[in-house]
């Protein structure tokens, strides 16, 4: 039976000095680097999607991301990001770097990273990439709201779908000024921001072309430390369109519906509240 070290050596061609254990397992290479080995067997296609996403969001001047050292259909080997502590200064720099990442752009709303699959994952839920229509409101309704409303309703954890239908119908007027497709991390909750040394690193992307306010709304939803500093740094580089705070609930519909599908009715109430808030904006 293969050990973590065996898999790392096969995928990277490097020599493993020792296995460190952990979950996911860590291994120390002969050159001193420590790597992380992730298994994606339970979510077919998740490893190619993550590897492609990490490469795509590793833009010059953007937030640092782990380096992909090897991957196959089941296993992913990346460099380890050592833990640190957040500060306001780090938060402001993260905001500036996020603006650079978003400004790198995408070919369209829903575009997958080069080499990434159309059917990817967010957490342990399927996420379909691929463009539909020409505008963000049309794509967001078709690919990021309606599929998860249906899935939650079919699973019996979401009874009231009318408010989401109303929000989708009114998306063109609720979405604010048109913007070009941004290059998104796509699953930017606080757990996917690692504070290490003088920088904040991004891990575990569900990368695609989308609206830049979606990444920022997800940071707000799950409580990132020093979020005000992040937003301040972001606006230094790429000011947000007028009225963006009122649109935060609209952009939070996607992650809240995903969590409703994954974890049940406990999140359904939050999703309903966000939809009603979006309609009142």
Q: Is the pLDDT of residue 133 over 80?
A: no
Query: Cβ atoms within 10 A of the Cβ of 232, count?
Result: 15
Give the percent of the chain with pLDDT over 70: 100
Please give the class, per CATH, of domain 83-280.
Answer: alpha beta
Q: Distance between alpha carbon 198 and the CA centroid of its chain, in Å?
A: 22
Contact 247, 216 (CB under 8 A): no
Cα-based angle 215, 275, 259 (whole degrees, multiple of 5): 60
Average of per-residue pLDDT across 18-41:
95
What value does the mean pLDDT take over residues 167-186? 97
Q: What is the pLDDT of residue 222?
A: 87
278 pLDDT exceeds 80?
yes
Confidence at residue 2, expressed as pLDDT on a 0 to 100 scale: 86
Q: Is 73 a catalytic residue?
A: no
Residues 143-155: pLDDT tens digits? Answer: 999 999 999 999 9
> For residue 223, what are its two tokens?
């409580």
Decide if 257 contacts 154 (C-beta within 8 A).
Answer: no
Give how far Cα 164 sits from Cα of 32, 144, 150, 174, Å.
Answer: 51, 12, 10, 13
pLDDT value at residue 211: 98
73 token code pair: 């259909």
Neighbours of 228 (CB within 10 A): 12
pTM of the model as a whole: 0.95
3-state SS, residue 78 = strand
pLDDT at site 109: 96
Please state the rounded mean pLDDT for residues 89-114: 97
How far is residue 108 from each of residues 83, 180, 268, measured CA to CA in Å? Answer: 35, 8, 30
Distance CA 190, CA 24 (A): 19
Nearest Cα residue to 105 out of 188, 21, 207, 27: 207
| 205-249 tens-digit pLDDT | 999 999 999 999 999 998 999 999 999 999 999 999 999 999 999
What is the average pLDDT across 22-38? 96
Kindly state the average pLDDT of the residues 52-79.
97
Residue 197 has pLDDT above 90, yes or no: no
Instruction: Give the mean pLDDT of 22-29.
Output: 95
Given the residues 187, 204, 215, 220, select the one marked as catalytic.
187
CB 244 within 8 A of CB 275: no
Q: Provide the percentage of residues in the chain whose pLDDT is more than 90.
A: 94
Query: What six digits make up the tokens of 250?
Result: 């609209």
What confidence score (pLDDT) does residue 1 get?
74
């Amino acid at each position: 039976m293969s050990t973590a070290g065996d898999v790392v050596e096969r995928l990277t061609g490097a020599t493993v000095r020792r296995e460190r254990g952990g979950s996911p397992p860590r291994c120390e290479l002969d050159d001193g680097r420590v790597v992380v080995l992730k298994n994606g067997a339970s979510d077919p296609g998740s490893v190619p999607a993550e590897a492609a996403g990490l490469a795509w969001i590793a833009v010059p001047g953007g937030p640092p991301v782990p380096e992909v050292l090897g991957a196959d259909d089941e296993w992913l080997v990346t460099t380890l990001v050592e833990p640190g502590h957040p500060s306001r200064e780090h938060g402001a720099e993260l905001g500036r770097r996020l603006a650079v990442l978003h400004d790198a752009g995408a070919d369209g709303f829903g575009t997958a990273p080069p080499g990434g699959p159309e059917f990817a994952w967010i957490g342990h839920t399927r996420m379909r990439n691929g463009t539909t229509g020409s505008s963000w409101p049309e794509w967001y309704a078709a690919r990021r709201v309606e599929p998860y409303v249906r899935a939650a309703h079919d699973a019996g954890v979401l009874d009231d779908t009318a408010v989401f239908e109303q929000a989708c119908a009114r998306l063109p007027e609720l979405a604010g000024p048109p913007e070009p497709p941004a290059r998104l991390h796509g699953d930017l909750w606080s757990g996917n921001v690692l504070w290490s040394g003088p920088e904040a690193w991004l891990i575990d992307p569900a990368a695609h072309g989308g609206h830049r306010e979606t990444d920022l709304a997800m940071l707000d939803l799950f409580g990132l430390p020093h979020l005000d500093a992040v937003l301040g740094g972001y606006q230094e580089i790429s000011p947000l369109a007028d009225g963006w705070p009122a649109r935060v609930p609209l952009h939070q519909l996607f992650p809240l519906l995903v969590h409703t599908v994954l974890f049940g009715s406990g999140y359904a109430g939050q999703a309903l509240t966000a939809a009603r808030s979006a309609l009142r904006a």
